[in-house]
Amino acid sequence: MTELLYQTDSYLKEFEAVIQRTDSERGAVVLDRTAFYPGGGGQPCDLGVLRMGGSEFRVEKAKKEGEDVLHFLPVGSVLPESGAAAQGSLDWERRYQLMRTHTALHVLCGTVFRDYGAQVTGGDMEPLKGRMDFEFERMQAGLVHEIEAAVNREIAQVRSLKIQILPREQAFQIPDLIRTKINLLPEGIQFVRTVEIEGLDLQADGGTHVRNTSEVGRVRVVDYKSKGAINKRIYIEVV
């Protein structure tokens, strides 16, 4: 089982850990704790390096499997022994761009729900670019600038983000969470991590975010697409 350090500290760039096991067939290492985000909820996994046994290995991918996070090293890497110490460093520039982008998408989501009542059905991102799908029948080209202006007004409000890990029953009593389809969470999950942009948006979310909307930068709504009469996709860039 890997302790997920990024869940409580998304600004952690370097960490010490112990190798729990290795998967030589796949060239992967499982650590007792990690700051590497393993991907999920539309946010890609982190990249970076692991230093182990006097050598440095590139982490080309991280992935969650059950309770473990697997760190995939380059093909042909000679893996160290279980029980050995490891030191991890994230590709921080990329991760921080993803944090800004992920928070920008939550600002978009909160703004579009407040102003138009449209709910999110999905999303995806890469550093400084993202898209979000809404049930948003009224979306049309004329709204692009209105939405962009509203999103940037919210960012300029210097809103704090609050991360909480709540017992399932408590989380299920928050009306805003029910709106964002918390009921899709698997039965077995006992705790729900919530990400709140104070005064704007509250979601069940496992991703990494900035502390304050002032760190996001400026958002441009670059495009939108109809995916049918009701479903619309909005594309943003963060600059």
Assigned token pair, 57: 């290995």
Stretch 29-58 residues interacting with Zn ion (CB under 5 A): 41
Which x/- pattern over 173-202 shows residues binding Zn ion (rule: CB under 5 A)? Answer: ------------------------------
What is the DSSP-derived secondary structure letter of residue 148?
H
Q: Which residue is nearest to Zn ion (CB)?
A: 205
Q: Based on the number of CB atoms within 10 Å of its own CB, is 60 exposed (0-12), middle (13-18) or buried (19 or more)? A: middle
Closest CA to 140 of 226, 237, 236, 227: 226
Count the Cβ atoms, other than its own, within 10 Å of residue 8: 11
Count of positions on this chain that bind Zn ion (CB under 5 A): 3
Question: Smaller CB distance to Zn ion: residue 20 or 235?
Answer: 235
205 binds Zn ion per the rule CB under 5 A: yes
Question: Smaller CB distance to Zn ion: residue 41 or 127?
Answer: 41
What is the DSSP-derived secondary structure letter of residue 227?
S
Question: Smaller CB distance to Zn ion: residue 120 or 147?
Answer: 120
What distance in Å separates the CA atoms of residue 15 and residue 2, rounded to the nearest whole number? 13
By the 8 A CB rule, do 69 and 31 touch? yes
Stretch 106-125 residues interacting with Zn ion (CB under 5 A): none
Stretch 67-106 residues interacting with Zn ion (CB under 5 A): none
Residues that bind Zn ion (CB under 5 A): 41, 205, 207
